[in-house]
Structure 1
Amino acid sequence: MARKPNNVHGVLLLDKDAGMTSNQALQRVKRLLGANKGGHTGALDPLATGVLPLCFGDATKYSQYLLDANKTYQTRAQLGAQTDTADADGAVIAQARIPTLVADDVQALLRRQFIGEMQQTPPAYSALKHEGKKLYELAREGKPIPDKRRTVRIFNSQLDAMGDDWLDITLTCSKGTYVRSFVEDVAAALGTLAHVARLRRLEHGSFAIAQAVTLTDLEAMTEEQRLAALLPVDACITTLPIYTLDDTQFAAVKHGISVSVAPTNAAGEVRIYRNEKFIGLGEITPAHMLKCRRLVQTDLL
């Protein structure tokens, strides 16, 4: 008999394996946890490995904050060949001579051209949508790919190692950045072509790869150990300041009533707690009122 799904709440940091989509990874973890509601917070390509935060139950209400987070990747750029998917899973569509490269020159280029705000064209094989259809669906049908150029920000790009036909680069970037496009752009600046040979996400917001567990780890755990591996619901929003309710304020807030706060509290979003227990997300207005924006479900209050 199939196990009845549990009311599971929290965040699990998965070290995703290569060769599976983020949704496939999510579904396997959902089954292992017996969770009835879950979502991932920023897909990794099938080729990619690394930190993939998975939100379950009430944590899904706050997953947008992880979707918006900065990320750090380590990638290998395979020089001399362009593929249709911009990574090693695709077919080679063009080749180019690889110039003689010097590490100091490559690093200087990264610092000069690939740090700061820049325009980036996402790969044709991406999940971005145009008129309700994903770009990779259009690409597979051989249809023209609309220009989805966007502004992204690279906070740091560092050459780690290099060979005659490859570069290993670590970069920290804003949401919406495609490492595949980054690699192609770097290669173009060096006078050649390239695609992503491997990709690993080392950090996602405040989460680091050392905190993550693999599917193999999870499969070897007991049910209790898997649930213990979950981070609390508020792990998604730890960058926000805390506001603690007294009993009177809590009685009002849980019914959707705004409450007044001291003028010393700065306006903006806050995490709401009562007796050290997370209650939900709120906003303090310039008029010193605390408005509840999103409470955890009733059985967690």
Structure 2
Amino acid sequence: MIEGMNPSEHLSIYPQDAHRFSTLSLEEWQNGIVFPVNKPLQWTSFDVIRKLKPQLPVKKIGHAGTLDPLATGVLVCCVGRATKLISTFQEHLKVYRTTFTFGETTPSLDRATPVSQTTSWDPVSESELEAVIESQFIGTIQQVPPMYSAVKKDGKRLYNYARKGEEVERQPREAYIESCKILHYDGKQCTLEIACGKGTYIRTLVDDLAKAADSLGVVDELQRTKSGPYSIDEAWNIHELCDALKQVLIV
């Protein structure tokens, strides 16, 4: 970490701190600012960066952890020298809340693509589902990256193959699941709260969990509720952040 930079205190500007934009100097911007942003539905993570960049008095900006277009939630945006903290933020534990449906799936494992397969299913009990989670999906696990992902194979992103209807071999990768709690389960739909390490694919976790319960599964909703010290409750609405940045006065 950069000496003297504490991302959870000194660098962060939250919605309640909007008044600070009118007092920050160019040097302070260059030294580094961090915004937790609530990424909107259907936006890519880069859409957020592209929206913010013209509003800033410095050129450097990046984010610490990509979210799928159909996912919402905390996207940690780093400005100026705070971009050097991105790798540190990426190592932080992240918390997700996802709702998914048993008995069907799609090529993308979420609602970005049409249902491609269904199956009849005799639902397991909640205690049986908890037992599957505890025995197979806690700690260090192996995940095969989904075809609809940015992982590269022979120089091409997997989603480029997937959009042509092609499926290619992928190597399993390690992922770390600290906890996976059932918040709601009615035999058809399930809502989980998952605390995990970087590089975890929630869509793959849902797919693997459903298969372990002798079914199929597709993600209906996905939200990142926490990324390291930043929670959804203190994240900026992107439009409100852009309005607040209009206060920036650099002499």
2:154 is aligned, of 131, 136, 151, to: 131
Q: Give yes or no for the alignment of 1:81 onto 2:114.
A: no
Q: Aligned equivalents of 1:199 and 1:43: distance in 2?
A: 13
**Cα distance in 2, alignment partners of residues 120 and 222 from structure 1:** 40
Output the CA distance in 2 between the equivalents of 1:144 and 1:215. 36
Match of 2:122 among 86, 99, 103: 99
Residue of structure 2 in register with 1:14 after alignment? 37
**Further displaced range: 32-41 or 178-187:** 32-41
- 1:150 counterpart residue number: 173
1: CA distance, partners of 2:123 / 2:169: 35
Provide the residue aligned with 1:26 in structure 2: 49
Take 2:245 and 2:52, find their aligned partners in 1: how far apart are those partners? 13
The corresponding residue for 1:160 is 183
Superposed displacement of residue 202, structure 1: 1.1
Aligned partner of 2:122: which letter?
A: P
TM superposition shift of 1:222: 5.2
Q: Which residue of 2 aligns with 1:232?
A: none
Counterparts of 1:51 and 1:76, CA distance in 2: 17
Q: Structure 2 matches for 1:130-209, cutoff 5 A?
A: 130-209=153-232
**CA distance in 2 between partners of 1:210 and 1:165 (Å):** 29
Which residue in 2 is equivalent to 1:218? 241
Q: Note if contact 2:56-2:245 (Cα within 8 Å) is conserved in structure 1.
A: no
Structure 1: runs of 5+ lacking an equivalent: 1-5, 228-301
Partner Cα distance (1:29, 1:204) in 2? 20
TM-superposed deviation, 1:98: 2.7
Residues of 2 paired with 1:55 and 1:221: CA distance?
A: 17
Per-residue deviation, residues 109-163 of structure 1 (Å, max 9, x unmatched): 2122211111111110000112221110121233342313111111100000012
Distance 1:107 1:14 in 2: 32
| Partner deviation per Cα, 1:163-207 (whole Å, 9 max, x = no partner) | 242100011111111000000011001111011100010111222
Task: Specify the structure having the higher radius of gyration (Cα).
Answer: 1
What amino acid maps onto 2:207 in structure 1? Answer: E
The CA deviation at 1:58 is 0.9
Query: What is the match of residue 70 of structure 2?
Result: 47
In structure 1, C-alpha distance between the alignment counterparts of 2:48 and 2:103, rounded to whole Å: 32
- For residues 48 and 167 of structure 2, what CA distance do their matches in structure 1 show? 31
Structure 1 residue 35, shift from structure 2 partner: 4.1
Higher RCO (C-alpha 8 Å, min separation 6): 2
User: 2:125 touches 2:187 (CA, 8 Å); kept in 1?
Assistant: no
Q: Is the 8 A contact 1:32 1:218 kept in 2?
A: no
Provide the rounded CA distance (Å) in 2 between the counterparts of 1:216 and 1:104. Answer: 43
- What amino acid is the match of 2:224? R
CA contact (8 A) 2:111 2:220 kept: yes
Percent of paired sites with the same residue: 33
- C-alpha distance in 2, partners of 1:45/1:189? 24
What is the letter of the counterpart of residue 72 of structure 2? T
| In structure 2, C-alpha distance between the alignment counterparts of 1:218 and 1:121, rounded to whole Å | 37
| CA displacement 1:210-230 (0-9 Å, x = unmatched) | 221111321442533x79xxx
How far is 1:31 from its partner? 2.6
Aligned with residue 61 of structure 1, among 84, 92, 104: 84
Q: In 2, distance between residues paired with 1:114 and 1:143?
A: 28
> Is the 8 Å Cα contact of residues 49 and 199 (structure 1) preserved in structure 2?
yes
The DSSP-based 3-state class of the residue aligned with 1:151 is strand
Give yes or no for contact 1:117–1:151 (8 Å, CA) kept in 2: yes
Q: Which moved more, 1:169-178 or 1:143-152?
A: 143-152
Q: Distance in 1 between matches of 2:75 and 2:107?
A: 25
Partner Cα distance (2:167, 2:106) in 1: 17
Give the direction of change, closer, same or farther, for the CA distance of 1:179–1:59 in structure 2 (3 Å limit).
same
C-alpha distance in 1, partners of 2:96/2:171? Answer: 22
1:36-78 superposed Cα distances (whole Å, 9 cap, x missing partner): 2211111000111111001111111221111222211000111
